[in-house]
Amino acid sequence: MLDSIITPDLFAAAIRIATPLALAAIGGTICERSGVVNIALEGIMLTGAFFGTAVVLATGEPWLGVIAAVVAGISISAVHAFASINLRSDQTVSGTAINLLALGVTGFLMKLWYGHPGTTDQIKTLGSVFNFEAPGGGVLAEVWRWVNAILFTHSPIVYLAIIIAIVAQWAVFKTRWGLRLRALGEHPRAVDTVGVNVARGRWIAVLMSGALAGLAGANLTIEQVGSFTENMTNGRGFIALAANIFGRWTPIGSYLASLLFGFADALQIKLQILRGVINVPPQFFQMLPYILTVVVVAGVIGRAVAPAASGVPYRKD
């Protein structure tokens, strides 16, 4: 029975499912490193997913949809940036407003544009980047079959996410932008006193998180599902936040933590398919990612220290 669970496509699915979480989590990491908490990831992802789908439906061009999703993510995160940086709103409350706004706007436009609630028509999706042949028999071929199935069957944004994680890690710790970003989230006044614009630094970080969460939405619809359903993000934004914490506010850590969640989700889907063999209702499997999130958040805190000024609006005088 075990070999029908532990298959190459289980790991491939883990990577696939981890992708939107990781993109949003890296966005959350950049945002929190600058001192702005972003619990709006959920809503930004949903917005990206919707506008991505809408543009593909209108143009038939998946890549245009991806761009639209990123632009939509940036646009709605600008609202969060304006509220938390310029108006100094409570960032958690502002994030909640955006989550609700995203639900409302996507539902409203669903009916306005497509005349019905629920799910859109199918769209043209982005498929696998590589298409390698699996050669004949032998042990080596078996290994290659696994490697190919796990690593080389994915759509573009899956690879993009891995590249983004590595580049972001490097940028956060090795570049001028990264040093200032890390300083911003710890002690914005210190950054201000050396002549770096605090508001601008935070704006850029929030918009970047919007772009990444929007891209996560594009991955959900344009690569994975192939259509948009109302509230389809289903808590992924919050799980991404947990992944960001578990990854200790680092891009690669966020990616690896997301991979853990992805694996748990892939496993529960696999187990659901095996129902009948194991007699457990599907709802209990569906709970697993959420339970895992609670366990992770509960287990890791105390050892993980958030950026000191995260969530605190900066006021000059």
Partner 1 sequence: MSEPREGTVVQRRWMTILQKAGTPVISALLAIAVGSIIIWASGYDPLAAFAALFKGSFGSPKAVGDTLLKSTPLILTGLAVAYGFRAGLFNIGAEGQLFMGGLAATAVGLALGATSWWISVPLMLLAAMLAGAAWAFIPALLKARIGAHEVITTMMFTYIGRYFVSYLVNGPMKEPGNIPQTPALDPSAQLPRIATLFSEGAREALPILNLGRAHMGIFVALIAAVVIWLILKYTTLGFENRAVGFNRWASETAGISVQWTTVKALCISGVLAGLAGATEVMGVHHRLFDQFSSGFGFTGIAVALLAKNHPLGVIPAALLFGALSAGATTMQFEAKVPQDIIQIIQALVIFFVAAEEIVLWFVRRRQKEAISHAG
Partner 2 sequence: MAVLELRDVTKVFPGVVANDRVSFSLEKGEILALLGENGAGKSTIMNVVYGLLSSDGGEILIDGEPVNMRSPRQAIDLGIGMVHQHFMLIEPLTVTENIVLGREPGRLGVIDFALARTRVVELSERYGLKVDPDAKIADLAVGMQQRVEILKALYQGARVLILDEPTAVLTPQEVRELFAVIRSLVDEGLSVVFITHKLEEVMAVSDRIIVMRAGRVVGETRPEETDDVGLARMMVGRDVVLRVEKPPSTCGDTVLAVKDLHVMGDRGLEAVAGVSFTVCAGEVVAVAGVSGNGQTELIESIVGLRKPTSGTVHLKDIDITHAGPRKSIEAGVSHIPEDRHRRGLVLQFDIAENLVLGDHRLPPYAKNGIMKPKVIAEMAEKRIADYDVRTPSVSVLAGNLSGGNQQKLVVAREIGREPMLLIAAQPTRGLDVGAIEFVHREVLAERARGRAVLLVSLELEEILSLADRVLVMYEGRIVRELSAEEADAETLGYYMTGGGGDKLAADGVVPVMGGQQ
Kindly report the number of other CB atoms within 10 A of residue 180's CB atom.
18
8 Å CB contact between 286 and 268? yes
For residue 137, the SS3 value is coil
CB-based contacts of 6, cutoff 8 Å, min separation 6: none
Phi, psi of 85 (to 5 degrees): -95, -50
* The only residue of 111, 175, 200, 299 in contact with partner 2, by rule CB under 8 A: 175
8 Å CB contact between 154 and 129? yes
Could you say whether residue 182 binds partner 2 (CB under 8 A)?
yes
Stretch that binds partner 1, among 96-104, 146-154, 212-220, 271-279 (CB under 8 A): 96-104
8 Å CB contact between 164 and 26? yes
Could you say whether residue 177 binds partner 2 (CB under 8 A)?
yes
Helix (H) or strand (E) holding 252: helix 251-273
* The only residue of 7, 75, 90, 192 in contact with partner 1, by rule CB under 8 A: 90
Could you say whether residue 242 binds partner 1 (CB under 8 A)?
yes
Task: Determine the residue type at 294.
Answer: V
* The only residue of 13, 198, 205, 241 in contact with partner 1, by rule CB under 8 A: 241
Kindly report the number of other CB atoms within 10 A of residue 60's CB atom.
11
Minimum Å gap between C-beta 244 and partner 1 is: 10
Could you say whether residue 276 binds partner 1 (CB under 8 A)?
no
Give the whole-angstrom CA distance, residue 174 versus residue 7.
38
Nearest residue to 297 via CA among 259, 265, 261, 271: 261
Stretch that binds partner 2, among 42-50, 96-104, 169-177, 218-226 (CB under 8 A): 169-177
Minimum Å gap between C-beta 196 and partner 2 is: 5
Minimum Å gap between C-beta 15 and partner 2 is: 30
Helix (H) or strand (E) holding 196: none
Could you say whether residue 167 binds partner 2 (CB under 8 A)?
no
Nearest residue to 106 via CA among 73, 82, 80: 73
Give the whole-angstrom CA distance, residue 185 versus residue 95.
18
Could you say whether residue 54 binds partner 1 (CB under 8 A)?
no
Tell me the per-residue interface mask from 197 to 226 with partner 2, x by CB under 8 A, - otherwise.
x-----------------------------
Minimum Å gap between C-beta 89 and partner 1 is: 4
CB-based contacts of 215, cutoff 8 Å, min separation 6: 23, 48, 66, 69, 70, 73, 157, 160
Kindly report the number of other CB atoms within 10 A of residue 297's CB atom.
17
8 Å CB contact between 23 and 215? yes
Could you say whether residue 136 binds partner 2 (CB under 8 A)?
no
* The only residue of 195, 276, 281, 302 in contact with partner 2, by rule CB under 8 A: 195
User: In this complex, which beta carbon is closest to partner 1, that of residue 95 or of residue 214?
Assistant: 95
The count of residues interacting with partner 1 (CB under 8 A) is 43
Q: Which does 22 bind (CB under 5 to 8 A by kind): partner 2, partner 1, none?
A: none
Could you say whether residue 88 binds partner 2 (CB under 8 A)?
no
Which residues contact partner 2 (rule: CB under 8 A)?
Answer: 174-177, 179-180, 182-183, 186-187, 189-197, 308, 316-317
Which residues contact partner 1 (rule: CB under 8 A)?
Answer: 39, 79, 83, 87-90, 92-94, 96-101, 103-105, 107-108, 110-112, 234-235, 238, 241-242, 245, 281, 283-284, 286-287, 290-291, 293-294, 297-298, 301-302
